[in-house]
Amino acid sequence: MKRFFPLVATLLLLIGSTCFAKEVKIHGFVTNVNSPTNFEIDDYKITRELSLVLDIEKDESGEAKATFNPEDIRVGTELEIKGNFDEASGELKASSIKVFLDDTRRIKRTALVEKLPTLDKAESGAWHGFAYADGQKIAIADSTVLTLRRNKSERKEAKAEKKVLPDQKSEALSSPNDITLYTFIQYQGSRQADGSVLASKAEFQHAEFESGEARLWKSLTPKIKEPNYSSFRSGELRVAQTKYKLVPSKEAQEYISKVGESLIPEREKDLPDGNPLKIPFKFYLVDDKTFNASAYPNGVVIVHSGVFDMLENEAQLAFVLSHEISHSIEKHVWREEEYHKGALLALRIGGAIGAGFGGVGVSNMTNLIEAGIRNGYARSLENQADRVGLEWMLASGYDIREAPRAWKAVALKMGDHQTNIFWDSHDNNTARRSYLMAELRNNYSDVDFTTLTKDSEEFHRIPQIISESRQSKRKVKIKVAP
């Protein structure tokens, strides 16, 4: 009988470990590395056998795009992992690991410069130094090819004055003075161990307000019916074919505007009214219980009242707003339309791209976004909105550590497996959260967080105001009912 008990205990232990371990698939970014066989993605502690071969993403020909060794796994590496997950310990024993290199190790992006570059020219004519854009530090080495590309109006003017050949669109950069805060940089290169990007080439182009953008903005001009605050009647906001109910609280609307306006970069505020490059940002709190926020190209930012049911503090709200502001400033809708121009000539844009927080498209953007997903372009724009959003958030004095915690707050209330059209993965909240955590560790390790703002009493007052306005509205309806 004594020999029987150890056998039972062993069987129970085996059964228990089997019951507690479940097969999962996660998609995310490495947030900590202990060794090539032991690393973390958010709350998941990943272990892999030495014999497990990594699966590297393939190109259209079916060939691996680059060599990648287990030793190359670092903070920020994008992985898809299948395996057995022990919820009690948080350990995920990998049975397969797929590595994605685009937009993490191999970089090819376009963004507005955030501050003027620091460049020196050698006697050989080569440039070296740093450019700053996209929430990244971009290293310019002697081997980096630097060019200045003419925008449409500049090409038209140069051709009229016969200064260039008809097909000549760019030339070697001659002076750092050619670069302003309203210049885009298109750069490509590889991620370095210190988190910076070593550029193999970088091309600058002055921003301009194209005629197509002007038509787009005009088609998205908001039409507003102001709320009746005294009788708690919702107002109406119409943008293109989409209608929104405005929360009938002046205090709530002013609060959203105050936080939103504090996040607009100074360079944008400093532009004189009437400058076509200036985006006239307007922020609206709409009565919708879903968790979502979105931004139109002309600076109309929509915040659903449901965000206050999910988020925990003002810094998390600031991240949601700065993410959406970034979509407008970086011209994401316009750039995506241009990117897919050949296939989307018949598409009429009537909504916003910034639907990443709610997991649903806005207005007529679905087809455009789906087209972007097929080649990862829309997903790269979401990543960029996160990176640039962190920059504007920090510049406004908010605690950027609350950015990934915003997704944690959503996971705690909605579950950690919400489907998001920008992320074709099993665990989308983990993907967004781990991406931001990796960015913090790679690019913000020297930030003094003790001086940054996390919360305010006003933030916690707004949910109460929304609830009171709904209750008062119901009372008014009952009172006037026949």
Listed in sequence order, the residues at least 6 apart from 150 whose beta carbon sits closer than 8 Å to its beta carbon are: 158, 164, 169, 170, 205
Per mean pLDDT, which of 271-275, 473-477, 478-482 is the most reliable?
Answer: 271-275
Q: How sure is the predictor about 227, in pLDDT bands with cuts at 50, 70 and 90?
A: very high
Is residue 220 a contact partner of residue 296, using CB atoms and an 8 Å limit? yes
Distance CA 72, CA 211 (A): 46
pLDDT of residue 163: 67
End-to-end Cα separation, the chain, in angstroms: 81
Is residue 289 a contact partner of residue 467, using CB atoms and an 8 Å limit? no
pLDDT of residue 366: 43
Listed in sequence order, the residues at least 6 apart from 231 whose beta carbon sits closer than 8 Å to its beta carbon are: 248, 476
Q: What are phi and psi of 355, to 5 degrees?
A: -100, 15
Q: Tokens for 359?
A: 């997991």
95 dihedral zone (left: phi>0; alpha: psi -120 to 50; beta) = alpha
Mean pLDDT of 21-33: 91
Mean pLDDT lowest among 284-298, 411-425, 427-441: 411-425
Model confidence over 233-284: pLDDT tens digits? 999 999 999 999 999 999 999 999 999 999 999 999 999 999 999 999 999 9
For residue 410, pLDDT beyond 50: yes
Mean pLDDT of 176-191: 94
pLDDT of residue 341: 64
Q: Which domains does the chain have, with CATH numbers?
A: 20-100 (2.40.50.140), 106-208 (no CATH), 212-468 (no CATH)
User: Could you give the percent of the chain with pLDDT greater than 70?
Assistant: 80
Listed in sequence order, the residues at least 6 apart from 329 whose beta carbon sits closer than 8 Å to its beta carbon are: 112, 265, 268, 279, 388
Mean pLDDT computed over every residue of the chain: 84
Q: How sure is the predictor about 415, in pLDDT bands with cuts at 50, 70 and 90?
A: low
pLDDT of residue 104: 75
pLDDT of residue 205: 96
User: Could you give the percent of the chain with pLDDT greater than 90?
Assistant: 61
Q: Is the full-model pTM beyond 0.75? A: yes
Q: Identify residue 387 by its one-letter amino acid code.
A: R
Model confidence over 352-394: pLDDT tens digits? 445 455 544 444 444 444 444 444 677 788 899 999 999 999 9
